[in-house]
């Protein structure tokens, strides 16, 4: 029987080699194994539990903008290293590594696009670039996106996905919170609508600034939202947190959100809000 065992093992090994990597994807929420092409067709939403997988900035452009087209601005802005920061790697090395991995210059893409024919100033963050962290480049590009909305008197839409301020830039990163918030106050004074879309996760400095200042705030289902993480808060206040704390659903229930939108309905909902507010 030894020959049969070896033959069987060889057959299984061969079959495994015949299946390319990445064909199947495991859901982070329910553990369901999903055929990748079906998942892509369903906009990276689990068919079993409705979990919304994290997607790239380009995916949101294709999902929300007409024909996925964006006239990009400020694409050549790149971070510098004024603090000469180094942890396990030098900061410039982290930047270059993320640029290679994402094919982006930093953690946000901005420009002018259209949604159902209506022109908007559009910005979308990408968590794949150093955790979507906000440094001076992200803050500056958001500021310029707001200024374009002011100059052209067109709505502003920002899709956020971020772990917060970028520690490698210290106070220069934290300054972006005040800069973007002040410009959004001007946008509000001119009665130009701003729709903020929160995806998983939107936290810390980004959540504490422009992401939470929309005239209408939308979130994807079950997104992690808030300033500090649940474990940090629990350790600080020495109390158990309510079930579902810092989820989109918890935020909606307590009045911090206006709408939770399934990804399939995101373009329709943004378009309706922009049309109503304009």
The residues near 96 (Cβ < 8 Å, ≥ 6 apart) are: none
Backbone angles phi, psi at 196, to 5 degrees: -105, 125
**Residue spans of the chain under pLDDT 50:** 3-4, 11-17, 19
Partnered with residue 109 across adjacent β-strands are 124
Closest CA to 275 of 116, 144, 163: 116
Do 210 and 234 belong to one domain? yes
End position of a domain, from candidates 35, 53, 71: 53
User: Which pLDDT belongs to residue 240?
Assistant: 74
159 to 29, 135, 244: CA distances (angstroms): 22, 16, 23
pLDDT for 5 equals 52
Residues 187 and 272 in one domain: yes
Per 3-state DSSP, what percentage of the chain is helix, strand, and coil (rounded to 5)? 45, 20, 35
Range of the domain at 78: 54-277
Number of domain units in the chain: 2
Look up the pTM and report it.
Answer: 0.86
Interior angle at CA 42, CA 123 and CA 127, nearest 5? 35
Query: Is residue 164 located within the same domain as residue 249?
Result: yes
Residues 109 and 159 in one domain: yes
Rounded to whole angstroms, the Cα distance separating 37 from 41 reads 6
Residues 209 and 131 occupy one common structural domain: yes
């Amino acid at each position: 029987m030894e020959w049969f065992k070896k033959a069987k093992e060889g057959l299984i090994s061969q079959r495994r080699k015949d299946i390319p990597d990445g064909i199947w994807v495991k859901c982070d929420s329910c553990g369901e194994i999903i055929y990748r092409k079906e998942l892509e067709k369903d906009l990276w939403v689990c068919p079993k539990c409705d979990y919304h997988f994290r997607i790239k900035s380009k995916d949101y452009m294709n999902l929300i903008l007409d024909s996925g087209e964006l006239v990009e601005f400020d694409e050549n802005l790149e971070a510098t290293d004024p603090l000469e920061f180094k942890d396990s790697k030098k900061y410039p090395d982290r930047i270059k590594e993320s640029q290679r991995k994402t094919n982006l210059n930093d953690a946000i893409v901005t420009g002018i696009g259209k949604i159902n024919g209506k022109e908007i100033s559009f910005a979308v963050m990408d968590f794949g670039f150093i955790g979507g962290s906000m440094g001076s480049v992200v803050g500056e590009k958001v500021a310029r996106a707001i200024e374009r909305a002011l100059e052209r008197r067109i709505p502003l839409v920002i899709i956020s996905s971020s772990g917060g301020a970028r520690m490698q830039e210290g106070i220069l990163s934290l300054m972006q919170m005040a800069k973007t918030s002040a410009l959004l106050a001007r946008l509000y004074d001119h009665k130009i609508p701003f729709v903020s879309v929160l995806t998983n996760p939107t936290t810390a400095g980004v959540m504490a600034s422009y992401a939470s200042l929309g005239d209408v705030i939308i979130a994807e289902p079950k997104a992690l939202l808030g300033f500090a993480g649940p474990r940090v808060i629990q350790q600080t206040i020495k109390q158990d947190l309510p079930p579902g704390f810092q989820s989109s659903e918890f935020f909606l229930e307590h009045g911090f959100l206006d709408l939770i939108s399934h990804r399939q309905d995101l373009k329709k909902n943004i378009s309706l809000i922009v049309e109503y507010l304009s």
